[in-house]
């Protein structure tokens, strides 16, 4: 593959993975071209300071209207920050900081759809209206 094509895509801001897929070359070749052009290495993905972008990038929609968080860890990590994905989902869905623990209200394990997560006051209000779950 032409190093000129790799250089053009690098200068356009494409990631090494994207170039490798598009041009069917190994990332080592792309790294070598990057070094010859004196381009700094890039970091893929959203910036750690943007937890909402990271949230949307990692979630997986289901056919039945839920949004699942993959993997065992329920935290977004960015630099030294660790944020609960449920708290991020709550802020996205409700436009405010949650009070107390945030949990899925739909009963689907690992669901983080912003409309399906509830904080403590929401759960208490639900209990006051409908009583305890049977």
Print pLDDT tens along the chain (134 aa).
578 888 888 887 788 888 888 888 998 999 899 898 888 876 655 555 678 888 888 899 999 999 999 878 888 876 567 889 999 999 999 999 999 999 999 999 999 999 999 999 999 998 888 887 54
The upper half-sphere exposure of residue 107, i.e. CA atoms within 13 Å in the direction of its Cβ, equals 2
Give dist(CA 33, CA 103) in Å, integer: 47
- Give me the residues paired with residue 68 across strands: 60, 111
Residue with the two structure tokens 């494409």: 14
Give dist(CA 6, CA 75) in Å, integer: 36
């Amino acid at each position: 593959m032409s190093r000129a094509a790799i250089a053009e895509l690098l200068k356009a801001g494409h990631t090494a993975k994207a170039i490798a897929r598009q041009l069917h070359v190994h990332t080592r070749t792309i790294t070598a071209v990057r070094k010859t052009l004196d381009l700094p290495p890039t970091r893929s993905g959203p910036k750690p300071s943007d937890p909402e972008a990271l949230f949307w990038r990692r979630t997986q929609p289901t056919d039945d209207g839920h949004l699942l968080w993959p993997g065992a860890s329920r935290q977004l990590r960015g630099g030294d920050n660790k944020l609960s994905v449920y708290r991020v989902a709550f802020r996205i869905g409700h436009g405010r900081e949650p009070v107390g623990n945030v949990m899925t209200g739909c009963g689907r394990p690992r669901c983080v759809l912003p409309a399906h997560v509830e904080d403590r006051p929401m759960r208490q209000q639900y209990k006051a209206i409908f009583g305890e779950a049977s």
